[in-house]
């Protein structure tokens, strides 16, 4: 059972939820796209349902609501450290099915890959989700191939854009009265999901060692400009590095920040003595791709990539990650 809400009623529900949660949702930033007069859709705090983009894929993922691009962890002086203040209000994030799967990947990395990350854990405890249904497949999506087109459980309510309003399902008992009171009528509803994408990939079950030195990677040494944009839009890229910012000349007073990192940019694999493990862009591409469709599965049993296609959408060199997966599949069959 579900509810049909007019747009105004949905606005009211979101405004009411805003009293309980900080709400993050995809919003359209007019004229802020990469070309003149183009928009970008990214996550920001919202106060009204009308701000939320329900009918287009966001260019950036929700992950910054959980793992900010730059976060001060603590301040230090010569003898002491003090934890940075932390906004502990509950968070509600509007996300699509693929992103709900991406959340599972983030949990695997931050909570199940050795000791738990306490900074992730403390914010993760505060986060709740609302599911945005997908009535159609967007450009470059390949969620069906990756098995992420149907959302896992764990969301409070779902919302699908409908003519003149929104169709919602509300499994959460705490939210149900709010929707029931705002609804124009009860409906038989379930969150929409796609069953087909134009883009399809075949993920190899195993990747022979020969694929790691295959010539297919050379193309990306030439084409990729190691800008790192594919990492920053990806909901499952979780790498970060530490920065100590000194306030004083002696370096003994300052702050430690965690900042997002990219395996595609210069410096990521620098080591003492001027060494660098992956100098060529093709080597970096190989690492990224195999990490997402092979290495992660060896450790956790599922692929890291959830097929959102955002990396294909954003790449300034029109490099298609889904094409690369299919090339790896072909190379793996060659043995």
Residues lying near ligand SF4 in the complex (CB under 6 A) are found at 224-230, 233-236, 264, 292, 305-311, 314-317, 319, 321
Nearer to ligand SF4, 197 or 236 (CB): 236
| Residue 52 CB coordination number (10 Å) | 24
Nearer to ligand SF4, 126 or 227 (CB): 227
Give least dist CB 272 to ligand SF4, A: 25
Give least dist CB 232 to ligand SF4, A: 9
d(CA 181, CA 314): 41
Nearer to ligand SF4, 82 or 241 (CB): 241
Give least dist CB 293 to ligand SF4, A: 8
Give least dist CB 73 to ligand SF4, A: 26
d(CA 71, CA 65): 11
Nearer to ligand SF4, 182 or 306 (CB): 306
> How remote is the C-alpha of 238 from its chain's centroid?
9
Q: Is 106 helix (H, G, I), strand (E, B) or coil?
A: helix
- Size of the chain in residues: 335
Nearer to ligand SF4, 65 or 311 (CB): 311
d(CA 260, CA 323): 26
Nearer to ligand SF4, 140 or 169 (CB): 140
Strand ranges across the sheet with 81-83: 81-83, 70-76, 254-260, 240-246
**Sign of the CA dihedral 263, 308, 26, 100?**
negative
Q: Is 261 helix (H, G, I), strand (E, B) or coil?
A: coil
Give least dist CB 208 to ligand SF4, A: 22
* Residue 313 near residue 59 (C-beta atoms within 8 A): yes
Give least dist CB 311 to ligand SF4, A: 3
């Amino acid at each position: 059972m579900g509810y049909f809400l007019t747009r105004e009623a949905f606005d009211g529900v979101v405004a009411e939820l805003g009293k309980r949660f900080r709400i993050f949702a995809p919003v359209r930033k007019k004229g802020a796209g990469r070309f003149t007069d183009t928009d970008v859709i990214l996550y920001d705090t919202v106060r009204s349902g009308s701000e939320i983009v329900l009918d287009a894929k966001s260019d950036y993922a929700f992950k910054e609501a959980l793992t900010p691009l730059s976060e001060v962890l603590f301040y230090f002086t010569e003898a002491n450290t003090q934890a940075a203040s932390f906004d502990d209000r509950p968070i509600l994030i509007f996300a699509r099915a693929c992103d709900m799967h991406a959340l599972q990947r983030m949990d695997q990395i931050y909570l199940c890959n050795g000791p738990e990350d306490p900074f992730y854990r403390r914010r993760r405890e505060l986060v709740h989700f609302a599911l945005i249904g997908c009535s159609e497949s967007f450009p470059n999506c390949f969620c069906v191939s990756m098995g992420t087109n149907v959302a896992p459980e764990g969301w409070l309510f779902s919302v699908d854009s409908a003519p003149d309003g929104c169709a919602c399902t509300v499994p959460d008992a705490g939210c149900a009265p709010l929707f029931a009171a705002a609804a124009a009528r009860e409906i038989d509803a379930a969150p929409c999901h796609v069953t087909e994408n134009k883009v399809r990939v075949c993920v190899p079950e195993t990747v022979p060692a020969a694929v790691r030195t295959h010539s297919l990677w050379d193309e990306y040494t030439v084409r990729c400009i190691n800008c790192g944009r594919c990492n920053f839009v990806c909901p499952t890229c979780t790498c970060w590095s530490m920065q100590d910012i000194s306030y004083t000349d002696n370096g003994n007073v300052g702050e430690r920040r965690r900042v997002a990192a990219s395996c595609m940019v210069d410096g990521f694999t620098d080591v003492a003595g001027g060494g660098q493990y992956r100098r060529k862009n093709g080597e970096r591409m190989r690492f990224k791709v195999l990490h997402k469709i092979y290495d992660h599965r060896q450790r956790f049993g599922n692929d890291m990539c959830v097929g959102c296609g955002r990396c294909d959408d954003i790449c300034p060199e029109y490099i298609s990650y889904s094409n690369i997966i299919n090339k790896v599949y072909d190379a793996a069959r060659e043995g």
